[in-house]
Amino acid sequence: MKDYIKVDEWKIIEEGFDPNYNTISESIFSLGNGRMGQRANFEEAYSGETLSGNYVAGVYYPDKTRVGWWKNGYPEYFAKVINAANWIGIDILIEGEQLDLAKCEVKDFRRELNMKEGYLKRIFIAKTAKGKEVKVETTRFCSIADDETGAISYSITPLNFSGQIAITPFIDGDVVNKDSNYDEKFWDEVKKETWEEGAFVQLRTKKTGFEVATGMKIAIEQNGQPVPLQAQSIEKDKYVALKTELNAEEGQTITIYKYAANLSSQNYAAAELEDNLKATLLHISEKGFKTMLEEQAAAWNEKWKHNDIIIEGDASAQQGIRFNIFQLNQTYTGEDDRLNIGPKGFTGEKYGGSTYWDTEAYCVPFYLATADPKVTRNLLLYRYKQLGKAIDNAKLLGFKDGAALYPMVTMDGTECHNEWEITFEEIHRNGAIAHAIFDYVRYTGDEQYLADYGLEVLIAIARFWSQRITWSDDKQQYVMLGVTGPNEYENNVNNNWYTSTIATWCMQYAMDVTEKVQAEDPSKYNALINKINFDQEKETARFRDIIEKMYYPYDETRRVFLQQDGYLDKEQILVKDLPASERPINQKWSWDRILRSCYIKQADVLQGIYFFEDQYDLETIRRNYDFYEPRTVHESSLSPCVHAIIAAKLGDEDRAYEFYLRTSRLDLDDYNNDTEDGCHITSMAGTWMSVVEGFGGMRVCDGKLSFQPFLPGKWQSFSFHIVFRGALLNIKVSKDGVQIKNLSGNEVAVLIYGKQQLVKANNELLVEA
């Protein structure tokens, strides 16, 4: 755990430069706008340890899988969002010496991420080897108002000399990915150009053929006055730059404004990229940096109106939740149904920037409650449009008759995960996709989605489960063999309780929706069953038989659901009895030792209880929680939020608060010693869930919002916004009670501690404690 980020309710602040923390800070201070993003690399050269990262959403490369053996059905490649052209670079030469913080004496260093207005600021004083001192102040952002663009203001002031400073802003497409399996570079140059005030490079990805044009337009001021550009053009392979030499006076500031854009062939014809790029650069440069920054602040203000959480009495908790919400909003806007949410977003390369089941299990609740319904609908459509490839993926594994297995990791619907125990066995991911459809319809009331898209997906998933499940003559029950549950510290187990539970739920939900669509929209239903050759009587009879005769492991003595067959054969040493020197076990133990232990990476049985809590009484939930939580090492970022929510439901304030803090500050405090690889974006949605579903006790019951809130003892109050079926509500929980403000023109009925309350349009009510 690190403790170098200063606590501030609206800012992330680093004071003093420690090179040992630089790659961590590059992750934490990352920027994005849903269309593009970047790690917080320095604009000037840096020869110290760094992970360069500039990313364009949806642009990927199929990096050939690197394994020493091959099995039928194994993916041929691992798709990854690749490092794109570096558009932030500005080389600085001070009397011939390169400004490089790894080689300079650095003081008064401050890096500041302003979450309220959406920009990154950096200030420092650097002393070169020859004793030249300069003060540098930079501000940059990825624009939300113009979401293919970014802008930089870079100011440099000589403090103890007058002399020549050379400024070279550049675009560099000759970049690499740290995680490239074969040290391959993924871009080829298409064309490039420099002109008086600007330059661009157009690149094409190998194999996939995406084209991206990255360009810049430059303006320079000296002592507050514009400087006519007389720049030297520099062109190399995949590289363009404009070098300007200025005579700098001691105490006088030189400022360079760099306006940049990334345009992709996903959104423009490749032949039109250059013209559109130049038009975009002209548009934003004519606005100017100040106007762009003001528009950025206004755009972020609108976002915060809908999804801010305010915590009074705990600045650390406040900073944590806002950081998580900020990163989620930087990563995905919901404007494009071809895009999804990578586990690291725009903050790093790990997990390839691909789509995992994290989106459906953790991100969907956040976007449902904080954004227009179309945002979540686009996440569902992303999967619907990939249904054909999910069916193809199932065929590769031997399934037939329209059964679908969605990929564990994907960009375009093709499975590209390269570990057999995940690719073939972590099939519970199918359940999360079905549950997201259920979640969306329950929350929005958009039942038309089921007839238009949802039912087709649900039947394909149910068909998979009905074929994947095996009849056991010995047990005279159906069993689920050879799977990996959410706890990835167990592989190839039989009868994982969570996987079996969500499988039968999927089949039941598919049957329920089938009956609903058949009754309410027979024409669409008939068209669908003809399209997919669905034999309702025969196939649903199979579903019902499995549901009625499914085997679920259970311990009668402890009265808990068993994670899988044989779980109690393991040595039951609790996490609290593990020496601290042996944790995290994924870094200290062999994989063999982990697999033989009872330790749980993340919620497994408890994931099922979280999804289906209505099916279990409070004591059942408590018994399972008290059994499994002490055996959970929480070495997945997705683990603490589920435990926080269930602890809150059980009234266990201490554990709920402990897990909330852990999930909210996971990256800020580098709990798992892995933030240098990028932030845990999808788990950040779990932080929001911990507050709203945990402390706020929010659920949807019979088409109404229900709240069972409690106030953590360390807080004076907390409040959050909820978008629900055309209404915008603000919920505030304090020692006085629960205050609900209806900020919309629609009256809303809600349940507070089980009692219905009617909140009139543009009105408020207080339910006293």
The catalytic site residues sit at 488
How many CA atoms, within 13 angstroms, populate the side-chain half-sphere of residue 176? 9
In this structure, how many other beta carbons lie within 10 angstroms of the beta carbon of residue 629? 21
Query: Which pair of structure tokens corresponds to residue 75?
Result: 């993916």
Q: For the residues of 510-534, what is the DSSP string, one character each? A: HHHHHHHHHHH-HHHHHHHHHHHT-
Question: 52 near 175, Cβ under 8 Å?
Answer: yes
Tokens of 495: 């009868």
Q: What distance in Å separates the CA atoms of residue 474 and residue 696, rounded to the nearest whole number?
A: 47
Taking each helix axis as running N to C, give the angle between helix 315-331 and helix 681-689, from 0 to 180 degrees, rounded to the nearest 10: 130
Is the Cβ–Cβ distance between 227 and 221 less than 8 Å? yes
Number of H helices, E strands in the chain: 22, 34
Cα–Cα distances in angstroms (integers) from residue 375 to residues 59, 178, 552, in the given order: 20, 32, 36
734: which residues sit within 8 A by CB, 6+ positions away? 312, 711, 716, 717
Instruction: Give the burial class of 182: count Cβ atoms within 10 A of its Cβ; 0-12 exposed, 13-18 middle, 19 or more buried.
Output: exposed
Burial 324-340 (b: 16+ CB within 10 A, else e): bbbbbbbbbbbebbebb
- HSE, CB side, 13 Å, CA atoms: give it for residue 352: 23
* Residue 406 main-chain phi, psi, to 5 deg: -70, 150
Close Cβ partners of 350 (under 8 Å, ≥ 6 residues apart)? 179, 343, 344, 677, 678
**In whole angstroms, what is the distance from residue 109 CA to residue 86 CA?**
23
Cis? peptide before 158, omega within 30° of 0: no
Residue at token pair 């993340």? 602
Judge contact between 158 and 167, C-beta under 8 A: no
27 dihedral zone (left: phi>0; alpha: psi -120 to 50; beta)? alpha
Q: In the beta sheet, which residues pair with residue 62?
A: 79
Report residue 491 as tokens: 């592989």
* DSSP symbol at 541: H
By C-alpha distance, which of 100, 160, 112 is closest to 137?
A: 112
Cα distances from 735 to residues 316, 711, 732, 739, in angstroms, run: 20, 7, 10, 11
SS percent in the chain: helix, strand, coil, step 5: 35, 25, 35
| DSSP classification of residue 635 | -
Q: Are 239 and 173 in contact (CB under 8 A)?
A: yes
